[in-house]
Structure 1
Amino acid sequence: MSSSTAFIFPGQGSQKVGMLAEIAAQEAIVNDTLVEASDILGFDLRGMILEGPADALNSTENTQPALLTSSVALWRLWQARGGAQPEFVAGHSLGEYSALVAGGVLSFADAVHLVRNRGIYMQEAVPPGEGAMAAVLGLDDEKVIELCQDTAQDGEVLSAVNFNAPGQVVIAGSAVAVERAATVFAEAGARKVMPLPVSVPSHCALMKPAAERLAKDLDSIMLSAPSISVVQNVTASVANDVNVIRTNLVSQLSQPVRWVESVRYMVSNGVAGFNECGPGKVLAGLGKRIERSVPVVGMENLSALPDA
């Protein structure tokens, strides 16, 4: 099978104030994309991305459109520079929406509105302090799943939600259950259990109310058949039917991100390199642990574009 390239798009956690500042100052297409998103939303998202304040950028309903916009800006720059079309696109959690824009499934304007609402729905689904997430290092997937089932009590939600790399799984659910799990997992041999600084417990059953609201939004917009194969989080495989894509996006809010399987699916289908199209290097770090022999090149700086 001939080798090819895939573009992967980061999710929440990759944002920082000033992301893309250097490249936006030098490339009109990047700056124009930030302005376009601001016009779509009716507030200065560009200013928030480039100048902060951090607490506003890190609020979920702002983080999501900010990261999507930054990723799409870099994708547009790649296209404007004559970059080759990848064989696959995929995104981690929120990043799946960036991948769907790149793959021609969602318009940029629809995606910006969707992820803005998605962030609001997620925040409103669980009262502050009642949900939590934590990263578990050093246990295999099956053990984490088993311990989540054993640790939850009295109807509490506790699930393995992000399979990010071998030996790195994120759990989410009721705050009291996640706190209890830290002790249980440590006793079971986990190298580390790290609480994550997030305000919503993503990809678990507590997000079902948000998923129901998002489904109504998705039903109201047009999705187009993908021009590039999109690997979705929920299935770790490609969907070409827009109705399947829509269903998977709704399910994604309350079901796990199967990132390890997604990366391996692309590699097994001939991908020999990944371009991380967005701020930061989170996915590059995960890629080294999933398939060390397959390089991941970041694209947030102009100097990196030739390598990509």
Structure 2
Amino acid sequence: MKSFAVVFPGQGSQSVGMFESFMANDIVAKTFEEANDALGYDLKKIVLTGPESELNKTEITQPAILTASVAAYRALGKALGDNLPVACAGHSLGEYSALVAANAISFYDAVRLVRLRGQAMQEAVPAGVGAMMAILGLDDDVIVNGCAAVSKEGEAVWAANFNTPGQVVISGAKEAVARAGEYFAQNGARRCVALPVSVPSHCPMMQGAADKLAAALADINIAPASMPVYANVLAAPVTEPAAIIDCLVKQLIGSVRWVETVQNMKANGIEAVIEVGPNKVLCGLNRKIDKTLITGNIASDEDIAKVLQSLEA
């Protein structure tokens, strides 16, 4: 079997009805029941029937995506047997799913932690104050320098997500993000797309949320990871509890270095990167980063059979 890593999606991959057919898998259904017990409400019902406005609340979205991702990984794990991944990573929120997969954080603690994370992020910046925008068609350094050029005291914007070569998401104060969009449009960007979010993630405006997260992490048992977890802020593996905690706190205010993460996985001998969880966002990003990597997505029992076949080919 080929050397492979598993990666987990972040916020934005949710949809009402996701995993409806996958719920017939006992492992998946049981994982959602565990989440219900940890959260004290029926997350499974919201995922399956909505309404969409409820599922899209940040403090519900984050546990929903984590639960779906962990459920899918558990189902995949049963099929894999002893053929384990050699590493894992997650995009933003997905890093928590990766840490559960690596046995660094219990699922019970993780699902409660990401609910708190969502609440803290929403509370850190009032609705309408921050914004995010995807910039397509420019080099990373042009975007980093452009953000610095249009930022003002108390009204700044930063590069938040390095998703693929030529796709960077910026984040910051609403007015600064708008200025940056105009600047990049005038300086060769192919497109500048405002994102439908209420929180400016992965920038220093999230410092208040990072402080609350640090306090919560101090009360949770973090174990050494059973496999390397590529941290967003380092694009490199971590396994020790102190490093894991440090990276999770810094992740809220720092950039998601996804391009480097996938490139470093490839450089370390990984042949396949399998996305585990709803939607196929990371599959698309990973193919744009390196077309030679085998990719796949696990969101149903049928997907598991396809991925196993591709790994054994």
Tell me the TM-score normalised to structure 1 length.
0.98
Structure 1 segment 1-308 matched on structure 2, within 5 A: 4-24=3-23, 26-83=24-81, 84-308=83-307
Count of residue correspondences: 306
- In terms of mean alpha carbon deviation, does 208-217 or 149-158 score higher? 149-158
Structure 1 ranges of 4+ moved more than 6 A: none
Taking the aligned partners of 1:57 and 1:155, their CA distance within structure 2 comes to 32
Tell me how far 1:3 sits from its aligned partner. Answer: 5.2
User: Is the Cα–Cα contact under 8 Å of residues 10 and 278 in structure 1 kept in the other structure?
Assistant: yes
Structure 2: any 5+ residue segments left out of the alignment? 308-313
C-alpha distance in structure 2 between counterparts of 1:138 and 1:79, whole Å? 38
Which secondary structure state, in structure 1, belongs to the residue aligned with residue 134 of structure 2?
Answer: strand
The structural deviation recorded for 1:36 is 1.1
Letter in 1 for 2:148: Q
- The DSSP-based 3-state class of the residue aligned with 2:225 is coil
Q: Distance in 2 between matches of 1:199 and 1:71?
A: 23
Unpaired stretches in structure 1, ≥5 consecutive residues: none
- The answer to whether the 8 A contact 2:79-2:304 is kept is no
Deviations 1:79-132 (A, max 9, x none): 222342100010000000000000010000000011000000000000110000
Contact 2:227 2:239 in 1 (8 A): no
**Could you tell me whether the CA contact under 8 Å between 1:3 and 1:270 is conserved in 2?**
no
Secondary structure at the aligned position of 1:21 is classed as: coil
After TM superposition, the score normalised by the length of structure 2 is: 0.96
Answer yes or no: is the 8 Å Cα contact 2:9–2:91 preserved in 1: yes
RMSD of aligned alpha carbons: 1.0
Contact 1:162 1:169 in 2 (8 A): yes
Contact residue 150 and residue 156 of structure 2 kept, 8 A: no
CA distance in 1, matches of 2:116, 2:149: 34
Aligned residue type for 1:36:
E
Contact 1:37 1:69 in 2 (8 A): yes
Question: What one-letter code is carried by the residue in structure 1 that aligns with 2:157?
Answer: L
3-state SS of 2:254 partner: coil
Whichever residue aligns with residue 260 of structure 1, its letter is: V
